[in-house]
């Protein structure tokens, strides 16, 4: 069998904040397609790792590779241009724009690089694309609402639509269900599953149960280090994971 090149890989990745070592020596590869979840207890270093692999800030040590290409330390917009999109743990939309405008602006930002931004004829097309993306994330009925009027779960879905407007091949989500009600959580997990049909997803989640049935691979961080990686079955049976993560 030919081993497919991973879409993303971390090699010896580490991050210190002053004297505090939040992450050390994490080497892990993410396969193309499907969902890989990064799990671990609070403070394990998940968001730090997420920020390093999404280019939000540079690592103290190590490299990040996208399709085999070293992208360590590139500016965030270069990550975006390569097809890496992310949504943060903190919501990140323009509160005083409508839902439709939020996504249209994002879709427009993408076309800037094709020098279409002065072309007003592209406008209806962008609106159409924005509406299609919003329908896909379940916000088709909220197009004219201001973003700030949305419920928390809807804002997270909007944020994902904004990320999708860049047509990413890799989508990174940091705890997309944080602060959500059970119904919102279910809707978000359904959405995540649907998104994985068209792009590779890397999902940070501290609720292990939530991702077990969803992802094909898990990466477990603990105290800033890689504790385990493997299939859901591997992780469920992993003695160290059971001890430190499940308290068994
Ligand atoms: P997780 O997302 O798994 O809950 P984080 O990556 O947010 O964990 O944090 C890992 C550790 O690094 C925590 O102890 C946290 O307090 C610390 N940390 C995270 N960001 C910073 C920062 N900017 N400055 C100092 N310490 C930080
Ligand atoms: Mg976090």
Q: Which of 21, 22, 24 to mutate to test the pocket of ligand 1 (most atoms within 8 A of CB)?
A: 22
**The pLDDT of residue 76:** 83
pLDDT band for 111, please (50, 70, 90 cuts): low
Mean pLDDT in residue range 99-127: 76
Tell me if 105 sits within 8 A of 94, measured CB to CB: yes
Alpha carbon of 45 to ligand 1 centroid (Å): 6
Give the closest residue (by CA) to ligand 1 atom 13: 43
pLDDT band for 23, please (50, 70, 90 cuts): very high
Give the number of the ligand closest to the Cα of residue 45. 1
Number of C-beta neighbours around residue 29 at 10 A: 16
Mean pLDDT in residue range 71-99: 85
Instruction: Tell me, using a 6 A CB cutoff, whether residue 20 lines ligand 1.
Output: yes
- Residues 217-242: tens digit of each pLDDT: 999 999 999 999 999 999 999 999 98
ipTM above 0.95, yes or no: yes
User: Residues in the chain, how many?
Assistant: 248
As a whole number, the mean pLDDT across the chain is 90
Q: Nearest 10 degrees: CA dihedral of 55, 81, 74, 218?
A: 40
**The pLDDT of residue 243:** 87
What residues pack around ion ligand 2 (CB closer than 5 A)? 46-47
Short-list 148, 218, 154, 165, CA closest to 188? 154
**The pLDDT of residue 112:** 60
Give the closest residue (by CA) to ligand 1 atom 7: 47
**The pLDDT of residue 206:** 85
**The pLDDT of residue 47:** 95
Check residue 64 and report its DSSP letter: E
CA angle 51, 114, 156 (to 5 degrees): 35
Does pLDDT of 198 surpass 80?
A: yes
- Residues 28-48: tens digit of each pLDDT: 999 999 999 999 998 999 999
**The pLDDT of residue 120:** 63
pLDDT band for 123, please (50, 70, 90 cuts): confident
Alpha carbon of 75 to ligand 2 centroid (Å): 22
**Angle of helix 182-195 relative to helix 152-164, nearest 10 degrees?**
10
């Amino acid at each position: 069998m030919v081993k497919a090149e991973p879409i993303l890989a971390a090699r010896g990745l580490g991050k210190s904040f002053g004297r505090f070592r939040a992450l050390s020596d994490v080497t892990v590869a993410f396969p193309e397609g499907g969902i890989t979840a990064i799990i671990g207890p609070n403070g394990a270093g998940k968001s730090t790792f997420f920020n390093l692999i999404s280019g939000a800030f540079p690592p103290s040590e190590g490299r990040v590779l996208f399709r085999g290409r070293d992208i360590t330390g590139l500016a965030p917009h270069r990550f975006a241009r390569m097809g890496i999109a992310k949504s943060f743990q903190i919501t990140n939309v323009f509160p005083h724009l409508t839902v439709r405008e939020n996504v249209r602006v994002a879709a427009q930002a993408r076309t800037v690089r094709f020098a279409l931004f002065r072309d007003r004829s592209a406008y209806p097309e962008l609106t159409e694309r924005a509406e299609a993306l919003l329908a896909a994330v379940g916000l088709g009925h909220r197009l004219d609402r201001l973003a700030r009027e949305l419920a928390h779960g809807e804002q997270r879905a909007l944020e994902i639509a904004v990320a999708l407007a860049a047509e990413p091949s890799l989508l990174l989500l940091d705890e997309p269900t944080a602060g959500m009600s059970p119904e919102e959580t279910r809707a978000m997990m359904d959405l995540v599953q649907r998104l994985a049909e068209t792009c590779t997803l890397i999902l940070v989640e501290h609720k292990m149960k939530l991702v077990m049935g969803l992802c094909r691979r898990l990466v477990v961080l603990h105290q800033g280090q890689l504790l385990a990686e493997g299939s859901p079955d591997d992780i469920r049976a992993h003695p160290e994971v059971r001890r430190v993560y499940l308290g068994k």
